[in-house]
Structure 1
Amino acid sequence: MSNLSISGDQFLLDGQPFRLLSGALHYFRIVPEYWRDRMLKLKACGLNTVETYIPWNLHEPEEGRFYFEGLADIEAFVRLAGELGLHVILRPSPFICAEWEFGGLPAWLLADDNMQLRCDYKPYLSKVDAYFDELLPRLRPLLSTQGGPVLALQVENEYGSYGTDKAYLNYLKEGMIARGMDVLLFTSDGAEDRMLQGGMIDGVFATVNFGSRAKESFAKLREYQPTGPLVCMEFWNGWFDRWMKPHQTRPAAEVEETLDEMLALDASVNFYMFHGGTNFGFMNGANLFDEYEPLVTSYDYDTLLDESGRPTDKFYAARKIIEKYVDLPPLELPPGIESRAYGKVRMTECAPLFTQLDALSHPVRRSCPEPMEKLGQAYGFILYSTKITGPSSGRELILQEVRDRALIFANGAYIGTVERWNPKGIPLEVPAEGLQIDILVENMGRINYGPQLRDPKGITCGVRLGYQFLHDWTIRSLPLTDLTGLTFVPDGDCDERLEPVFYRGSLHVDEPADTFLRLDGWGKGQAFINGFNLGRYWDKGPTKTLYVPAPLLREGGNDIIVFELHGVKEPVVSFVDQPDFG
């Protein structure tokens, strides 16, 4: 049984001086078969600790239904770290940010219009309590005080960037203590006055997050916490990508310089990230400051291991600096994971969306459009349909507060796209016999950081023709969690359709290896392999490929489904052996 304590300005582990050298690995962004590989590489870099967030929305996708299997098996992840001789830092706070959908909060919270988030609001706290009652007893046997590898837990995440509610922070702290979390509790905030003032609480160890200027950041922490070890809980050595923006990179030399500066101050550090991984499915987050900016599927982060787990220049640069301060054994990496280019695959079958609605959803009737959360839906797409009476001329169809991107069809013909960041009206001429309107809305990721955290999806206010609201809607939830009911026809029946279509093909594999799905000539949509949702693609970039880990493949035939929103001239995809970040 180990115990991490604080003596003066240093950590003690079992009474001996100890420096946390940690790296972030998110179990939920890595297929479980690769957890060991990533941890061994973390250890080979000279790190002694692995850190991970715990996303509430992964573990309680529907209220009262808890999930801890596969990608969500946090207990197996922590036990594996311990078996490999690594310590663990867990961040189980209700909110995690992490560029993850809704910052880890479950979408079903937004079904209540009155719900207040991240504050001392009893209905919210009751939901947190129910989650903690399920999660924390699972973590208790893994704590170092119980013989496990977990040394510390985070109370809340960068709360000072969001609010000032000390009663809320103390409620979380006391809730953790009451449930037996008897290891070091900590907060992490940016190294600014307002952030530390808002995020720190009495009796909880404070850490700071930054990417450069270590001396200045630690000096600011010292103003608020005069003694104790210096800890950078998030050393931002790379950054994340957003759709329609350039690929983000940071030179290894800058990372090397800042790391050296920290270690020279006898500080502890957690690399955020050590290995980023992938936002599989619909789980990317979004930012909203001047405009809504959704994140891409890849969470490569330009960090020490790339998206597929290969060491980068930053890995070797970081190890070189760590060796200045710690005696390390010779570098020994686990066997490399092969990647292969399987070549082109023609999608031989298709299923137009509007012919498959009954296989994918059940219609509900509402007077007004309602957002996903009101219908019990978290992710994916939602379809709103109504009939407009005619004649009508000279007016525009207005989607009031659409979130986030809508394709509009009149009598089955595509007539335009409305985007949250470009909320234009669509001119609409309605003939005397009226017009059928279908609006397919895509949730491109809930906001994960900042004051605009509340982010319901779909049509969140209403639809107007000119100044007149339209009523009597049929709504279909399309989370795309089960595509087994689709009925496919030969792909020639869907040639150049300007409507959403599911395309299906088969990839033959003699021996599974990592690969990257490339969708040149395709517009925007989702890709699935053997029923697993790989994530979003979009020709606007910056990313041009989707990572396919080998464990998702099988020997022989592999079922590929691509849900294309805008149509494709030639339904051919390719599997290459290298990623492309544009």
Structure 2
Amino acid sequence: MTRFEIGAEDFLLDGQPVRILSGALHYFRIHPDQWRDRITRARELGLNTIETYIPWNAHSPARGKFRTDGILDLGRFLDEVAAQGMQAIVRPGPYICAEWTGGGLPGWLFTAGAGVRRHEPTYLAAIAEYYEAVARIVVPRQVDRGGPVVLVQVENEYGAYGDDKEYLRALVELLRGSGITTPLTTIDQPEPWMLENGSLPDLHKTGSFGSRVTDRLATLRAHQSTGPLMCAEFWDGWFDSWGLHHHTTDPAASARELDHLLAEGASVNLYMLCGGTNFGFTNGANDKGTYVPIVTSYDYDAPLDEAGRPTAKYWAFREVLSRYTDVPESTAPAHTPAPAFSVPLTTVAPLWDVLDLLGPEHLHDHLPTVDELGRFDGFALYRALDDVPAGVLDLAEVRDRAQVFVDREPVAVLGRDLGEHRAVVPRGGRLQVLVEDQGRVNYGPRIGEPKGLIGPARLDAAAGAGVDLDRWAVQPLDLDDVTALTARVRDAAPVDGRLVAGPSFAHATFDTPDPDSDHFLDTTGWGKGVVWVNGFCLGRHWSRAPQRTLFVPAPILRAEGNDILVLVLDTAAPHVAFVEDLALGHTEE
């Protein structure tokens, strides 16, 4: 039986010192048919380990479910790691942050009244169910059973959030009780108070940082006198948010920091090796006083770009790693341009004409959140059951973007990021509000908050007394399977060659000269919306900076007859364009 242990100075594999050289790959951000390629690039970089989070909310969209199909097939991913002779680090949370919607915590958790990241019975009971589901995949793939998994992490940067030691002990007991036998670790930024708050004496502490390596390793050592030093998140880039610039870091500077880290004898996990994509509605958001959603691309300026291709940072890191380990010959293909072509959007259907395909309405005698209706991402259409007079609509809060209509004509857009919650209703009539959850907060005290419109809602009439709006019909838009929707829109009215007005769904078909290559969909000229190709949701686009392309993985394409469906929220140019490369936006320079 193979044994992996934490020794006095080193990690030990069957008693022999080993250094972990790891890279982060999130299987849930990469098409499963491309996992093998990304793992190969990791091995050829000189790495011996792959690290991944597990997103609880993606696997368990409802309590009692644990999906492992498609992009969520964690077992297949770990088997791909093992097939290339590499080890694995698994980080199941339950909280993962990861710039992932809700930090990985399911929305249904909080409708059940669970506490957040603390020793609370409802929360811990749900975690126990989750860990048991994870264990069915991870336990038989642990190193002592012939598998690749050598470490499992408890929680995630908990010291920045809380100091509930009873909570951490309960997580350890649940993991051990589920059959996890590998060493357990914690991770925190190397600040004394975070390291103290975020761990337990019997858990191995690791750090998260990307600069000032010597100082931060010294701080880590001061709080852990024995055992191997490890930077379990070596930040080699950063994530992007809508309305800001595309973040980049200098490859040479990052390589120097990596060299310093390895020269100190430390183990490392590159965060990220390849960031991938926030497909669908999976991006998170930050809220430190202002709500800021994360973009669709999770390129992260990582050594492998969003499409998995080596960057200058990859080659700089490879040169550094070659000083400390044997580096295999590279088989990475040459970087060639993707197919570039354009096709027209051919048909369009107003949102109002396809609502019958998007799920039922729910009637309420109060203004409900979408969480009350069991929907935890995407869009919801609110409809006041009573006609309203002209005046000012006043809501307690909008989470996160609301388009206001009277008799289906647009009258206002309210954005949470600007603190907007009032709209002028210029005339009386039927009030409807289309609300977009732009990503659940993934870090800080607003984790777990419900989405949608937050009441009370009032209409202060232009003439006479105001009215409280208590009677609502709410329709969460079911966009999980767009097969029937695509067929309806394909047969809808033709696009007349001008800008496509929203809210609507537009359709086109396209052939490609190279279905074996990744494509890059150019969103220049489009406003805000969502795109599907052959039923696969690429994610959101927005004319707000920085991102200008959507990544289209080759495995979802076919040579002829590809369907593209676009949810147009405001306006879109009447064509679909594909370009030769990623366009992730302007930088600070």
User: TM-score, normalised to structure 1's length?
Assistant: 0.96
Letter in 2 for 1:550: A
Aligned match of 1:425: 422
Residue pairs, 1:377-396, within 5 angstroms: 377-389=375-387, 391-392=389-390, 395-396=391-392
Aligned match of 1:38: 38
CA distance in 2, matches of 1:6, 1:226: 13
Q: CA deviation at 1:226?
A: 1.0
Aligned partner of 1:550 among 543, 547, 554: 554
Q: 1:528 and 2:532 equivalent?
A: yes
Q: CA deviation at 1:245?
A: 0.2
CA distance in 2, matches of 1:390, 1:246: 41
Q: CA deviation at 1:339?
A: 5.1
Aligned partner of 2:351 among 349, 353, 372: 353
CA distance in 1, matches of 2:352, 2:530: 17
Change in CA separation of 1:121 and 1:424 when aligned onto 2, cut-off 3 Å: closer
Is the 2:5–2:183 Cα contact (8 Å) retained in structure 1? Answer: yes
Letter in 1 for 2:216: S
CA distance in 1, matches of 2:280, 2:169: 34
Q: CA deviation at 1:495?
A: 5.6
Aligned match of 2:361: 363
Residue pairs, 1:201-212, within 5 angstroms: 201-212=200-211
Aligned match of 1:293: 292
Aligned match of 1:102: 102
CA distance in 1, matches of 2:380, 2:388: 26
Change in CA separation of 1:342 and 1:10 when aligned onto 2, cut-off 3 Å: same
CA distance in 1, matches of 2:175, 2:86: 23
Aligned match of 1:517: 521
Change in CA separation of 1:33 and 1:339 when aligned onto 2, cut-off 3 Å: farther
Change in CA separation of 1:493 and 1:438 when aligned onto 2, cut-off 3 Å: farther
Is the 1:48–1:87 Cα contact (8 Å) retained in structure 2? Answer: yes
Aligned partner of 2:457 among 437, 451, 463: 463
Letter in 2 for 1:248: H
Aligned match of 2:12: 12
The range that moved more, 474-483 or 50-59, is 474-483
The range that moved more, 147-156 or 355-364, is 355-364
Letter in 2 for 1:104: G
CA distance in 1, matches of 2:183, 2:7: 13
CA distance in 1, matches of 2:342, 2:499: 19
Residue pairs, 1:134-149, within 5 angstroms: 134-149=133-148
Is the 2:238–2:247 Cα contact (8 Å) retained in structure 1? Answer: yes
List per-residue Cα deviations over 1:411-451 (Å, max 9, x = no partner). Answer: 11101100112215222244xxx411100000000011112
CA distance in 2, matches of 1:366, 1:497: 34
Aligned match of 2:429: 435
Residue pairs, 1:271-282, within 5 angstroms: 271-282=270-281
Residue pairs, 1:299-314, within 5 angstroms: 299-314=298-313
Is the 1:191–1:220 Cα contact (8 Å) retained in structure 2? Answer: yes
Aligned partner of 2:502 among 499, 502, 505: 499
Q: CA deviation at 1:456?
A: 1.4
Aligned match of 1:412: 408
Change in CA separation of 1:152 and 1:256 when aligned onto 2, cut-off 3 Å: same
| Secondary structure at 2:484 match in 1 | coil
Aligned partner of 2:574 among 571, 574, 580: 571
| Secondary structure at 1:89 match in 2 | strand
Is the 2:497–2:574 Cα contact (8 Å) retained in structure 1? Answer: no
Q: 1:400 and 2:396 equivalent?
A: yes
CA distance in 1, matches of 2:514, 2:257: 42
| Secondary structure at 2:376 match in 1 | coil
| Secondary structure at 2:306 match in 1 | coil
Q: CA deviation at 1:553?
A: 0.3
Structure 1 residue runs of 5 or longer lacking an equivalent are none
The range that moved more, 254-263 or 492-501, is 492-501
Aligned match of 1:478: 477
| Secondary structure at 1:509 match in 2 | coil
Letter in 1 for 2:404: I
Is the 1:46–1:328 Cα contact (8 Å) retained in structure 2? Answer: yes
Q: 1:325 and 2:324 equivalent?
A: yes
Is the 2:495–2:574 Cα contact (8 Å) retained in structure 1? Answer: no
Is the 2:370–2:380 Cα contact (8 Å) retained in structure 1? Answer: yes
Is the 2:262–2:324 Cα contact (8 Å) retained in structure 1? Answer: yes
| Secondary structure at 1:406 match in 2 | strand
CA distance in 1, matches of 2:345, 2:387: 40
Q: CA deviation at 1:296?
A: 0.4
CA distance in 2, matches of 1:286, 1:472: 31
Q: CA RMSD in A?
A: 1.6
Q: CA deviation at 1:498?
A: 4.4
Change in CA separation of 1:211 and 1:391 when aligned onto 2, cut-off 3 Å: closer
Aligned match of 1:444: 438
Residue pairs, 1:117-136, within 5 angstroms: 117-136=116-135
| Secondary structure at 1:170 match in 2 | helix
List per-residue Cα deviations over 1:228-273 (Å, max 9, x = no partner). Answer: 1110000000000000001100001111111111111100000000
Q: CA deviation at 1:391?
A: 4.9
Letter in 2 for 1:130: E
Letter in 1 for 2:425: L
CA distance in 2, matches of 1:490, 1:341: 29
CA distance in 1, matches of 2:287, 2:64: 30
CA distance in 1, matches of 2:157, 2:454: 28
Letter in 1 for 2:339: A
How many matched pairs?
574
Is the 1:243–1:295 Cα contact (8 Å) retained in structure 2? Answer: yes
Aligned match of 2:239: 240
Letter in 1 for 2:582: P
Is the 2:27–2:74 Cα contact (8 Å) retained in structure 1? Answer: yes
CA distance in 2, matches of 1:11, 1:492: 62
CA distance in 2, matches of 1:59, 1:426: 38
Structure 2 residue runs of 5 or longer lacking an equivalent are 461-465
Q: 1:454 and 2:452 equivalent?
A: no
Aligned match of 2:66: 66
Change in CA separation of 1:337 and 1:281 when aligned onto 2, cut-off 3 Å: farther
Change in CA separation of 1:66 and 1:391 when aligned onto 2, cut-off 3 Å: closer
Is the 1:339–1:514 Cα contact (8 Å) retained in structure 2? Answer: no
CA distance in 2, matches of 1:305, 1:324: 20
List per-residue Cα deviations over 1:308-334 (Å, max 9, x = no partner). Answer: 0110111111111112222334x3224
Q: CA deviation at 1:337?
A: 7.6
Letter in 1 for 2:422: G
Is the 2:283–2:439 Cα contact (8 Å) retained in structure 1? Answer: yes
